[in-house]
Amino acid sequence: MRLDPINLKLKKANLEASPQKIQEILNSMNFAQVKIEKSKFLIKTKFDSLGNKILRLLHIKLPKNLTPTSEISL
């Protein structure tokens, strides 16, 4: 059985997750958008610890708890 790059990295890091579980975890990462005076911010509301590990393995910078929308590209 051939593993895709994400599953291969997870296996090397001793993390078990099916492709469906990975998708669920990444889709569950939620943000709330708020406007304070003239600035808009995103507030990190929910992150699974496995989601944080997956982002680190993929060398994706973890979002801060409060991020100005001007700092991110969507």
The tens-digit pLDDT sequence of the chain (74 residues) is 565 777 788 888 888 778 788 888 888 888 899 999 999 999 988 777 888 888 888 888 888 889 999 888 76
Domains contained in the chain, number: 1
Range of the domain at 18: 5-71
User: Which pLDDT value is given to residue 2?
Assistant: 62
- Joined together, the tokens standing for residue 37 give 């005076």
Hey, which bits of 12-55 come out as E strands? 30-36, 39-46
Which pairs with CB-CB distance under 8 Å and at least 24 residues apart come from 9-13?
Answer: 9/57, 9/58, 10/54, 10/57, 13/53, 13/57
**41 strand-pairing partners:** 34, 68
pLDDT value at residue 29: 85
